[in-house]
């Protein structure tokens, strides 16, 4: 699809400083060609700055940035074969939809007729045929967003960047648009860097996720790796609302070890943790509730809060392990608040958090 | 980058070797002069250096050669940028040094005389060749800096910054420097700190006698008090007019617009003159009051009341032009958001709309404050015993005392006031973001004015409009009657004297006495206006959209020229440009330059005010789509800046046509300006001709403003207008 095919993006020890403030600190990663990689993190973690460094809207203070193997560290935004979809969409308010979409080729010296043809093609791709003559202010939020995407696609860039593209859309539209973006990326075989603070969005669209915290990379990997094997408390907490529980690790055998959580004893992969007090991440759906004491080991608890969400119940349960957040698929006969329950652990979704 | 650098280098060689290095007498080339080329008066710098003993020009060839070698290196060689930077610096340094070291009558400094003995070599003022060569050095420097990563490696930005710094240095700082130096010298040119202190702390400047006795207060207090009154007054009125023009269904909006534009296109002293003709001792209104109500005729208008009235009439339209852009820039959706939050329309206006207008209000006040301080015409005509700094400066220079040092001291005080206002405004606005034109399409209806605000606006604006009409009727009638106030017999005599056209044997002959200055004025103003707009808006772009080291100092420099009163500018230009290296007094060029740098801050201000309401991600989107900075400015920012462009063009054209304080020092027999001519007529007592000529100027400027409005047009934002709400509601 891209003139030169999708390109890789590589950061080598890149840092960005504004005076004494470090926005991005010694970051190294690679985005493989044709992959969608998400930069995920809370606001102020440096993810948007990282994206702007790829675009060339910010210049790195240190390190090297390569796109398609070529050093672009000192190139300006206009010289990089990269397009960006902005959070505010940044549609030019004085131009029609067609003029917006044709802007890239027009300013690169493509004849007007050809530029319009390219623009119409991409507008069709995002389903906006027939809207060419409108002004951005005459479109709905979702349509404006698609214009922004079409405009970014027209130049067939080596890398496409999204800066929180869904944040201005309503919830229902969000899922559709996010699926559309993913579909477009796969169909056109694009390299995409995608910034979001929404972990669900990240899990849904990404080939890989780079979790950022305090200007540095906290962890990177496939969505499943991050969810199941968080490398730190921050990642465990940020992705999937894990319960972080105090435990005691002992008797390391091979890659497994005995872990004690209150009255419960488990065999878990120790993931490099040393014997002694440790933290264990338990996913909300890996805690199993029962009214009677079950056969396997369990701790007792008391339902503090209960919420009905249609597909599942969400409970907050007071227990010897602390206050636990539990998701239960069983909705027909929910536990009433204040009722006593037994809590046991599923054989997945329970991990030792190293460090 | 390399290609444009090569282009500039080529132009540098053209300037150095081909074009006439020195200023050619009369400014234009004749065949006579060209016959001696490359030697002689029109010779290129290189040949003059080689063949005519002007050896000091030859070192300029070295940086040009170095750059030539540098640009032949392979593109990715990092040494290119170093070579360009050093070639630029070395070239500029030697250029400036030789320019000041060797003057019209030999060495330009006492130490050079001491070193090498008098009189030394001589040279004339710089010409086209020298100018182009210097520009080339500057561009080599900026392209080198861009290649080193300045401003994200953006050559356009770095070059623009460099160019504006160079221009400001040459045409704002250099003349100020010249006049400030004279503040510390006695009249024989020696350094004298005591004399400076005595002048500075003089009681006539800082005295507070008026607070406890019948004596007059110091001129500094007078000026400050007047400026604050005028600043507050013009801003309030400007806002009232802007709100009526944009937010109400007022039926006579067109008339209102013209009424508010009229005073801006009137030479300032003409309003003063009309005020006297109406309210003076023998004025029309005074006569009516005396005859009908037995109110005795008095001279109350001479002094603070008269100056205040005239300045309010003169400067309200400037505030209006600023305010209207700001009011239009407020996103209606913010006001709608507020209304949906249960805010009544008054609450919305006072908590949302008004705070959003704050940058505009601050700008309006600043403009009114500084305009009042710098105004010269009205205090001259109406001042009476009420002295202000600008007239004091004028009389210190042209009066019997001819005390340049005193003029410079007064100028420093005036500068301190205006810079203080500038600084206060900066602190007050802080870092708040007022972005309301976002990249997201914006739909919504602007809030209609709350009742009490509307009443207030109408209550202030309409009486003001009536007063303005009366003033202009006076001006209009003045040209068609024999003597205003005494003899109302209709006559065309004044117009015939000024603007008679005769059919002669060789064609049409403009025999009227005013034609010469009239054509010069139109020509100079038409050249100055677009230049002012370009430089002003480019500066605004650099200030609002780019980040670079020394930005605050840059801003200070670009706004400084606004804070210098015209009288001081006039004197300083004569001091600075009467001798080489820049020897341009008596030409049309000095008038153009004077106008451009005096009026540019208005372009900067209105540009910044509008640009701070345009979302920055629009620029970034354009950049990531492969547009260079220049293209981005041209295609995205300029179209959204149309209100600011109109304001800058109109204002600079009009100011050029109506200015009097600075150019009264700079006009020559060949380049006489309309206002200077009119002032001459007033001095000669020919009030009829003066008023008639003024009406002609006003008419010409009205036509010009309409033409500018039409050709630049309104910006297209796709906001809904009131009429298509029904449609939108259905869809």
Q: Is B713 helix (H, G, I), strand (E, B) or coil?
A: coil
Where residue B245 falls among pLDDT bands split at 50, 70, 90? confident
Mean pLDDT of B479-496: 81
- H runs (alpha helix) in B78-127: 79-101, 110-116
When CB atoms are compared, the residue of B149, B621, B718 closest to A86 is B621
When CB atoms are compared, the residue of A74, A94, A103 closest to B716 is A94
- Contact call for B623 and A139, based on CB within 8 A: no
For A267-287, b where at least 16 C-beta lie within 10 A, e where not — what string? ebebbebeeeebbbbbbbebb
Higher pLDDT, B479 or B524: B524
Range of the domain at A296: 241-353
Q: Is the pLDDT of residue B284 over 90?
A: no
Does residue A255 fall inside a structural domain?
A: yes
Q: Which residue is closest to B632 within chain A, CA to CA? A: A107
In terms of Cα–Cα distance, which of B574, B661, B557, B556 is closest to B175?
A: B574
CA distances to A336, B300, B375, B391 from B383, rounded to whole Å, are 88, 11, 11, 9
What pLDDT is attached to residue B315? 84
Same-domain pairing of A94 and A216:
yes
Among A217, A233, A249, where does a domain finish?
A233
- Most confident range (mean pLDDT) of B30-39, B228-237, B550-559 is B228-237
- Contact call for A84 and B624, based on CB within 8 A: yes
The C-alpha of A267 sits at a distance from chain B's nearest C-alpha, in angstroms, of 52
The C-alpha of A136 sits at a distance from chain B's nearest C-alpha, in angstroms, of 5
Where residue B160 falls among pLDDT bands split at 50, 70, 90? very high
Among A195, A210, A233, where does a domain finish?
A233
Where residue B714 falls among pLDDT bands split at 50, 70, 90? low
Does residue A131 fall inside a structural domain?
A: yes
What pLDDT is attached to residue B29? 56
A155 chain-B contacts, CB cut-off 8 A? 625-626
CA distances to A279, A280, A286, A344 from A249, rounded to whole Å, are 9, 10, 20, 19
- Contact call for A90 and B636, based on CB within 8 A: no
User: Could you give phi then psi for residue B650, rounded to 5 degrees?
Assistant: -60, -50
Number of separate domains in chain A? 2
- Contact call for A136 and B635, based on CB within 8 A: no
A209 close to A203: Cβ distance less than 8 angstroms? yes
B442 chain-A contacts, CB cut-off 8 A? 93, 137
- Residue B615 exposure: Cα atoms within 13 Å on the Cβ side: 21
Higher pLDDT, B585 or A213: A213
Strand A208-213 relative to strand A36-40, pairing: parallel
How large a percentage of chain A has pLDDT more than 90? 46
What pLDDT is attached to residue B446? 67
A138 chain-B contacts, CB cut-off 8 A? 441, 443, 718
Which strand ranges, in their side-by-side order, compose the sheet holding A208-213? Answer: A82-85, A159-163, A191-196, A36-40, A208-213, A216-221
Does residue A2 fall inside a structural domain?
A: no
- Contact call for B624 and A77, based on CB within 8 A: yes
The C-alpha of A119 sits at a distance from chain B's nearest C-alpha, in angstroms, of 13
Among A233, A250, A276, where does a domain finish?
A233
Where residue B28 falls among pLDDT bands split at 50, 70, 90? low
The C-alpha of B437 sits at a distance from chain A's nearest C-alpha, in angstroms, of 9
B624 chain-A contacts, CB cut-off 8 A? 55-57, 77-78, 80, 82-84, 152, 161
- Most confident range (mean pLDDT) of A261-270, B87-96, B391-400 is B87-96
Same-domain pairing of A147 and A173:
yes
As a dihedral over the C-alpha atoms of residue A180, residue A186, residue A192, residue A195, rounded to 10 degrees, the angle is 40
What pLDDT is attached to residue B725? 29
- Contact call for A59 and B439, based on CB within 8 A: no
CA distance B638 to B462: 34
Does residue A249 fall inside a structural domain?
A: yes
The C-alpha of B610 sits at a distance from chain A's nearest C-alpha, in angstroms, of 15
How large a percentage of chain B has pLDDT more than 90? 12
Q: Is B167 helix (H, G, I), strand (E, B) or coil?
A: helix
The C-alpha of A197 sits at a distance from chain B's nearest C-alpha, in angstroms, of 20
- Contact call for A107 and B622, based on CB within 8 A: yes
Cα three-residue angle B428-B419-B313, rounded to 5 degrees: 85
Same-domain pairing of A219 and A279:
no
- Contact call for B626 and A136, based on CB within 8 A: no
Q: Is A3 near chain B, with CB under 8 Å?
A: no
Q: Is B202 helix (H, G, I), strand (E, B) or coil?
A: coil
CA distance B596 to B566: 13
Q: Which residues pair with A67 in a beta bridge?
A: A9, A70
Q: Is the pLDDT of residue A355 over 70?
A: no
pLDDT digits (tens, 9 = 90+) for B359-382: 778 878 887 888 888 888 888 878
Chain A residues 335-354 with CB within 8 Å of chain B:
none
As a dihedral over the C-alpha atoms of residue A22, residue A25, residue A30, residue A31, rounded to 10 degrees, the angle is -30
Does residue A3 fall inside a structural domain?
A: no
Mean pLDDT of B111-123: 77
- Contact call for A136 and B440, based on CB within 8 A: yes
When CB atoms are compared, the residue of B625, B626, B718 closest to A93 is B718
Domain CATH for A114: 3.40.50.300
Q: Which residue is closest to B641 within chain A, CA to CA? A: A94
pLDDT digits (tens, 9 = 90+) for B653-699: 888 888 888 887 788 878 888 988 887 787 777 778 888 898 898 88
CA distance B171 to B175: 7
Which uninterrupted H or E stretch holds B639?
A: helix B638-640
CA distance B219 to B202: 10
Question: Exposure of B510 by Cβ count < 10 A (0-12 exposed, 13-18 middle, 19+ buried)?
Answer: middle
Q: Which residue is closest to B731 within chain A, CA to CA? A: A138
Least confident of A130-134, A215-219, A334-338, B385-389: B385-389
What pLDDT is attached to residue B431? 42
What pLDDT is attached to residue B263? 66
Q: Is A136 near chain B, with CB under 8 Å?
A: yes
Residue B19 CB neighbours (<10 A): 20
Where residue B570 falls among pLDDT bands split at 50, 70, 90? confident
A10 close to A30: Cβ distance less than 8 angstroms? yes
Same-domain pairing of A139 and A168:
yes
Q: Which residues pair with A308 in a beta bridge?
A: A313
When CB atoms are compared, the residue of A55, A88, A161 closest to B440 is A88
CA distances to A128, A178, B564 from A139, rounded to whole Å, are 10, 19, 49
What's chain A look like in SS3?
A: CCCCCCCCEEEEEEEEEECCEEEEEEEEEEECCCCEEEEECCCCCCHHHHHHHHHCCCCCCEEEEEECCEECCCCCHHHCCEEEECCCCCCCCCCCHHHHHCHHHHHCCCCHHHHHHHHHHHHHHCCCCCCCCCCHHHCCHHHHHHHHHHHHHCCCCCEEEEECCCCCCCHHHHHHHHHHHHHHHHHHCCEEEEEECCHHHHHHHCCEEEEEECCEEEEEECHHHHHHCCCCHHHHHHCCCCEEEEEEEEEEECCEEEEEECCEEEEEECCCCCCEEEEEEECHHHEEEECCCCCCCCEEEEEEEEEECCCCEEEEEEECCEEEEEEECCCCCCCCCCCEEEEEECCCCEEEECC
Query: According to CATH, where is 1.10.3720.10 located in chain B?
Result: 219-432+451-485, 493-712
What pLDDT is attached to residue B722? 35
What pLDDT is attached to residue B592? 93
Q: Please list the helix, strand and coil fractions of chain B in percent, rounded to the nearest 5, in that order.
A: 70, 5, 25
A74 chain-B contacts, CB cut-off 8 A? 149, 153
CA distances to B345, B510, B570 from B671, rounded to whole Å, are 55, 17, 15
In terms of Cα–Cα distance, which of B702, B656, B701, B653 is closest to B675?
A: B656
Q: Is the pLDDT of residue A235 over 80?
A: yes
The first and second tokens of residue B652, run together, are 């600079």
Mean pLDDT of B97-123: 79
pLDDT digits (tens, 9 = 90+) for B699-709: 888 888 788 77
CA distance B59 to B323: 53
User: Could you give phi then psi for residue B637, rounded to 5 degrees?
Assistant: -80, -45
Strand A191-196 relative to strand A36-40, pairing: parallel
Least confident of B18-32, B82-96, B207-221, B439-453: B439-453
In terms of Cα–Cα distance, which of A55, A166, A56, A154 is closest to A100?
A: A154
Does residue A51 fall inside a structural domain?
A: yes
What pLDDT is attached to residue B26? 54
Q: Is the pLDDT of residue A271 over 80?
A: yes
Q: Is B510 helix (H, G, I), strand (E, B) or coil?
A: strand
CATH of domain B219-432+451-485: 1.10.3720.10
Chain A with chain B: Cβ pairs closer than 8 A: 120
A77 chain-B contacts, CB cut-off 8 A? 152, 620, 623-624
Same-domain pairing of A208 and A254:
no
Domain CATH for A324: 2.40.50.140
Q: Is A135 near chain B, with CB under 8 Å?
A: yes
What pLDDT is attached to residue B485? 65
The first and second tokens of residue B92, run together, are 């500029």
Q: Is the pLDDT of residue B600 over 90?
A: no
When CB atoms are compared, the residue of B154, B439, B636 closest to A76 is B154
Same-domain pairing of A83 and A176:
yes
In terms of Cα–Cα distance, which of B654, B614, B668, B656 is closest to B636?
A: B614
- Contact call for B617 and A86, based on CB within 8 A: yes
What pLDDT is attached to residue B260? 64
Which uninterrupted H or E stretch holds B602?
A: helix B588-611
CA distance B251 to B541: 37
Mean pLDDT, chain B, rounded, equals: 80
Same-domain pairing of A328 and A228:
no
When CB atoms are compared, the residue of B439, B622, B640 closest to A89 is B439
Does residue A1 fall inside a structural domain?
A: no
What pLDDT is attached to residue B616? 86
CA distance B44 to B591: 27
Where residue B267 falls among pLDDT bands split at 50, 70, 90? confident
- Contact call for B439 and A77, based on CB within 8 A: no
What pLDDT is attached to residue B719? 44
Same-domain pairing of A305 and A247:
yes
Mean pLDDT of A122-149: 90
Where residue A151 falls among pLDDT bands split at 50, 70, 90? very high
The C-alpha of A118 sits at a distance from chain B's nearest C-alpha, in angstroms, of 14
Same-domain pairing of A24 and A98:
yes
| CATH superfamily assigned to domain B493-712 | MetI-like (1.10.3720.10)
Mean pLDDT of A301-315: 92
CA distance A277 to A287: 21
Whether the complex's predicted ipTM surpasses the cut of 0.90 = no
The C-alpha of B635 sits at a distance from chain A's nearest C-alpha, in angstroms, of 9
Mean pLDDT of A267-275: 85
Q: Is the pLDDT of residue B293 over 90?
A: no
Where residue A155 falls among pLDDT bands split at 50, 70, 90? confident
Peptide bond into B173 cis (omega under 30): no
Where residue B729 falls among pLDDT bands split at 50, 70, 90? very low
Same-domain pairing of A194 and A256:
no
CA distances to A190, A259, A279, A296, A354 from A250, rounded to whole Å, are 48, 6, 13, 21, 14
Which uninterrupted H or E stretch holds B246?
A: helix B219-247
Q: Is B555 helix (H, G, I), strand (E, B) or coil?
A: helix
């Amino acid at each position: 699809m891209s003139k030169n095919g999708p390109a890789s993006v590589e950061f080598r020890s890149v840092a960005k400083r504004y005076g004494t403030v470090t926005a991005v600190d010694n970051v190294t990663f690679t985005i493989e060609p044709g992959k969608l990689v998400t930069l995920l993190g809370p606001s102020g973690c440096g993810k948007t700055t990282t994206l702007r460094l790829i675009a060339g809207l910010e210049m790195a203070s240190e390190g090297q940035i390569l796109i398609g193997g070529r050093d672009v560290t000192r190139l300006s935004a206009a010289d990089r074969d990269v397009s960006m979809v902005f959070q505010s969409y940044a549609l030019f308010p004085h131009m029609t939809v067609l003029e917006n979409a044709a802007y890239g080729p027009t300013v690169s010296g493509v004849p007007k007729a050809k530029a319009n043809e390219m623009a119409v093609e991409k507008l069709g791709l995002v389903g906006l045929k027939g809207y060419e003559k409108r002004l951005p202010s005459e479109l709905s939020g979702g349509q404006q967003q698609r214009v922004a995407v079409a405009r970014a696609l027209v130049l067939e860039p080596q890398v496409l960047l999204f800066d929180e593209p869904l944040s201005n859309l309503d919830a229902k539209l969000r899922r559709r648009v996010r699926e559309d973006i993913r579909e477009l990326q796969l169909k056109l075989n694009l390299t995409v860097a995608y910034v979001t603070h929404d972990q669900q969005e990240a899990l849904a669209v990404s080939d890989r996720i780079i979790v950022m915290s305090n200007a540095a990379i906290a962890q990177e990997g496939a969505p499943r790796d991050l969810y199941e094997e968080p490398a730190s408390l921050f990642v465990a907490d940020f992705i999937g609302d894990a319960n972080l529980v105090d435990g005691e690790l002992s008797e390391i055998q091979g890659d497994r070890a005995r872990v004690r959580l209150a009255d419960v004893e488990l065999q878990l992969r120790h993931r490099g943790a040393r014997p002694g007090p440790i933290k264990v991440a338990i996913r909300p759906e890996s805690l199993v509730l029962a009214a009677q004491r079950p056969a396997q080991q369990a701790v007792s608890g008391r339902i503090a809060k209960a919420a009905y969400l249609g597909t599942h119940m969400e409970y907050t349960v007071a227990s010897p392990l602390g206050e636990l957040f539990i998701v239960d698929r069983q909705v027909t006969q929910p536990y009433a608040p204040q009722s006593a329950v037994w809590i046991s652990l599923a054989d997945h979704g329970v991990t030792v958090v190293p460090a | 980058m390399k290609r444009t650098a090569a282009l500039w280098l080529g132009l540098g060689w053209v300037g150095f070797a081909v074009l006439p290095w020195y200023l050619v007498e009369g400014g234009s080339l004749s065949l006579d002069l060209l016959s001696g080329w490359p030697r002689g008066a029109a010779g290129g710098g290189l040949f003059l250096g080689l063949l005519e003993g002007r050896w000091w020009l030859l070192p300029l060839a070295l940086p040009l050669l170095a750059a030539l070698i540098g640009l032949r290196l392979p593109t990715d060689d990092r040494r290119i940028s170093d070579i360009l930077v050093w070639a630029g610096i070395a070239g500029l340094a030697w250029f400036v040094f030789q320019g000041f070291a060797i003057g019209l009558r030999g060495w330009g400094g006492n130490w050079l005389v001491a070193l090498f003995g008098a009189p030394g070599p001589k040279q004339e003022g710089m010409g086209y060749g020298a100018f182009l060569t210097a520009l080339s050095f500057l561009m080599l420097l900026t392209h080198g800096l861009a290649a080193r990563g300045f401003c994200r490696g953006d050559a356009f930005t770095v070059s623009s910054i460099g160019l504006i710094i160079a221009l400001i240095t040459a045409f704002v700082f250099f003349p100020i420097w010249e006049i400030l130096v004279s503040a510390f010298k006695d009249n024989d040119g020696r350094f004298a700190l005591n004399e400076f202190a005595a002048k500075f702390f003089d009681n006539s400047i800082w005295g507070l006698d008026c607070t406890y006795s019948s004596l007059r207060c110091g001129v500094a207090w007078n000026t400050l008090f007047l400026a604050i009154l005028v600043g507050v007054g013009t801003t309030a009125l400007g806002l009232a007019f802007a709100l009526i023009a944009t937010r109400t269904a007022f039926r006579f909006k067109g008339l209102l617009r013209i009424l508010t534009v009229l005073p801006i296109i009137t030479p300032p002293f003409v309003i003063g003159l009309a005020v006297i003709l109406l309210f003076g001792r023998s004025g029309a209104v005074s006569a009516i009051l005396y005859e009908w109500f037995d109110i005795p005729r008095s001279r109350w208008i001479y002094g603070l009341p008269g100056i205040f009235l005239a300045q309010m009439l003169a400067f309200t339209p400037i505030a209006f032009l600023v305010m209207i852009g700001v009011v239009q820039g407020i996103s209606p959706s913010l006001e709608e958001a507020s209304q949906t939050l249960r805010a009544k329309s008054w609450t919305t206006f006072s908590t949302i709309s008004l705070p959003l207008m704050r940058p505009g209000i601050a700008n309006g006040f600043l403009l009114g404050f500084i305009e009042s301080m710098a105004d010269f015409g009205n205090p001259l005509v109406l001042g009476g015993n009420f002295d202000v700094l600008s007239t004091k400066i004028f009389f210190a220079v042209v009066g019997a005392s001819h005390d340049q040092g005193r003029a410079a001291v007064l100028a420093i005080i005036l500068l301190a006031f205006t810079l203080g206002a500038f600084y206060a405004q900066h602190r007050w606005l802080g870092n708040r973001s007022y972005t309301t034109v976002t990249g997201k399409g914006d739909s919504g209806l602007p809030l209609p004015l709350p009742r009490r605000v509307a009443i207030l606006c109408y209550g202030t604006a309409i009486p003001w409009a009536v007063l303005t009409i009366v003033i202009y009727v006076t001006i209009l009638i003045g040209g068609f009657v024999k003597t205003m106030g005494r003899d109302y017999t209709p006559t065309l005599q004044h117009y015939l004297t000024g603007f008679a056209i005769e059919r002669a044997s060789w064609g049409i002959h403009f025999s009227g006495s005013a034609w010469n200055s009239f054509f010069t004025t139109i020509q100079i103003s038409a050249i100055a206006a677009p230049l002012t707009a370009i430089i002003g808006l480019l500066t605004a772009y650099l200030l609002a959209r780019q980040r670079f080291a020394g930005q605050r100092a840059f801003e200070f420099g670009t706004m400084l020229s606004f804070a210098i009163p015209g009288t001081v500018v006039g004197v300083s230009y004569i001091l600075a440009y009467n001798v080489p290296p820049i020897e341009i007094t008596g030409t049309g060029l000095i008038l153009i330059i004077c106008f451009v740098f005096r009026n540019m801050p208005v372009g900067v201000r209105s540009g910044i005010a509008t640009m701070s309401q345009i979302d920055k991600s629009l620029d970034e989107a354009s950049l990531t789509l492969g547009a260079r900075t220049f293209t981005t400015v041209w295609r995205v920012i300029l179209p959204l800046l149309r209100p600011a462009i109109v304001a800058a063009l109109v204002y600079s054209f009009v100011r050029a046509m109506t200015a009097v304080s600075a150019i009264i020092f700079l006009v020559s027999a060949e380049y006489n300006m309309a206002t200077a001519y009119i002032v001459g007529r007033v001095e000669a007592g020919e009030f009829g001709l003066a008023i008639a000529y003024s009406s002609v100027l006003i008419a010409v400027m009205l036509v010009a403003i309409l033409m500018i409005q039409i050709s630049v047009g309104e910006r297209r934002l796709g906001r809904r207008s009131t009429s298509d709400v029904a449609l939108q509601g259905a869809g």
